[in-house]
């Protein structure tokens, strides 16, 4: 099987010659240059023989064009951080307008997709990273969003809709450039943050608009469920082909997830544990345990979230070799 065939088979719960796998991490030394980032990510895919690429724009990319001020360090292990939020007062949400996706920082991520497509052609599936609209709002303002949504819902809804429309425009351009699909990340799907009714009103309402567009003309969309005490069962019903979450640290385990969803599971490695710290013997045991929990169909081995930038190459090579060598 080639990589496209292998990934498509896993998504469809069909037999595979080996279980697909991938690992993703930020590259803050080069992620402000879309061409260098594309070359770096494709090089990593090649040396580790990864079955798909998750594009790694820096984590604040969806906020900068709305005025979020960011400190960049261009260092291998120091990702960008917020210097000043875009939202200081509830009325600042009125300044959040629909943006064209091909200018500014959004546009740089389109260049990233364009360059990766030129390098891998149709041989390696790749996903563009997008954030849920509420996650982008939180990255723009911090946790004041929860007060604003409760005290000024009309103003906040208007901003969320404009964020959603901007994200949808970005999705459409990525599809035009040939992405296989999207890595849809939400950092707000914790029951610790909102009530069920608030989540339905301010999160899933906009998530579903975004994912509806992401599924037009793509075949590989993954929902990343970030954080603790998550709404796994709810997000497992989102329109996507695969799920990714911190299975080694949070509910559910891979075995438990099999009874909760019929979607492809993409997880199995603890990015904060043995993947980043070793020893390699423990990496082998973790990968084999994950496969035994989930079975060989409808599974791809990956970290539960972004791997550390300084993850030792030998650890990644151990994980890939273990997956390739696995036999029931």
What confidence tens digit (pLDDT) does each residue in 172-185 have?
999 999 999 999 99
Intra-chain end-to-end CA distance of the chain, in Å: 19
Percent of the chain whose pLDDT exceeds 70: 100
**Whole-model pTM?**
0.97
Does the domain at residues 3-325 carry the CATH identifier 3.20.20.210? yes
The pLDDT mean for the chain works out to 97
Per-residue pLDDT reduced to its tens digit, 281-315: 999 999 999 999 999 999 999 999 999 999 999 99
Find the largest Cα–Cα distance for the chain.
59
- For residue 106, count other CB atoms closer than 10 A to its CB: 21
Instruction: Give the pair of three-digit tokens for residue 28.
Output: 């803050």
The per-residue pLDDT for 327 is 78
Instruction: Count CA atoms closer than 13 A to 79's CA, side-chain side.
Output: 15
Per-residue pLDDT reduced to its tens digit, 51-94: 999 999 999 999 999 999 999 999 999 999 999 999 999 999 99
Is-contact 293 276, C-beta < 8 A?
A: no
d(CA 24, CA 1) in angstroms, rounded, equals 22
Per-residue pLDDT reduced to its tens digit, 19-40: 999 999 999 999 999 999 999 9
Across-strand partners of 240? Answer: none
271-274 long-range contacts (CB < 8 A, ≥24 apart) are 271/303, 271/304, 271/305, 271/306, 271/307, 271/308, 271/311, 272/308, 273/248, 274/315
Rounded mean pLDDT of 87-113? 98
Does position 328 have pLDDT exceeding 80, yes or no? no
Residue ranges of domains in the chain: 3-325
Does position 109 have pLDDT exceeding 90, yes or no? yes
The per-residue pLDDT for 61 is 98
Instruction: Give the pair of three-digit tokens for residue 314.
Output: 């030998």
Rounded mean pLDDT of 121-143? 98
């Amino acid at each position: 099987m080639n990589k496209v065939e292998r990934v498509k088979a896993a998504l469809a719960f069909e037999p595979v010659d080996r279980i697909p796998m991938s690992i993703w991490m930020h590259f803050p030394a080069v992620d402000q240059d879309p061409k260098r980032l594309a070359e770096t990510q494709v090089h990593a895919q090649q040396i580790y023989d990864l079955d798909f690429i998750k594009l790694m724009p820096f984590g604040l990319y969806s906020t900068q064009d709305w005025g979020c001020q960011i400190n960049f360090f261009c260092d291998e292990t120091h990702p960008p951080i917020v210097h000043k939020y875009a939202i200081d007062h509830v009325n600042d949400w009125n300044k959040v307008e629909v943006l064209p996706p091909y200018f500014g920082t959004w546009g740089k991520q389109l260049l990233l997709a364009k360059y990766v497509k030129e390098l891998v052609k149709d041989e390696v599936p790749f996903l563009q990273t997008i954030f849920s609209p509420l996650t982008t709002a939180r990255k723009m303002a911090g946790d004041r969003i929860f007060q604003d949504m409760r005290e000024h819902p009309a103003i906040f809804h208007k901003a969320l809709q404009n964020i959603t429309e901007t994200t949808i425009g970005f999705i459409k351009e990525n599809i035009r450039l040939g992405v296989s699909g999207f890595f849809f990340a939400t950092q707000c799907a914790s029951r610790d943050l909102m009530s069920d009714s608030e989540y339905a009103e301010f999160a899933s309402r906009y998530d579903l608009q975004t994912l509806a567009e992401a599924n037009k003309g793509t075949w590989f969309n993954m929902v990343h469920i970030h954080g603790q005490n998550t709404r796994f069962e709810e997000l497992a019903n989102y329109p996507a082909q695969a799920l990714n979450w911190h299975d080694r640290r949070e509910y559910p385990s891979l075995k438990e997830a099999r009874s909760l969803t019929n979607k492809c599971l993409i997880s199995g490695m603890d990015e904060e544990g043995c993947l980043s710290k070793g020893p390699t013997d423990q990496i082998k045991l973790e990968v084999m345990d994950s496969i035994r929990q989930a079975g060989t169909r409808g599974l791809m081995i990956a970290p539960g979230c972004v791997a550390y930038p300084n993850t030792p190459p030998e650890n990644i090579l151990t994980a890939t070799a273990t997956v390739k060598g696995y036999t029931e």
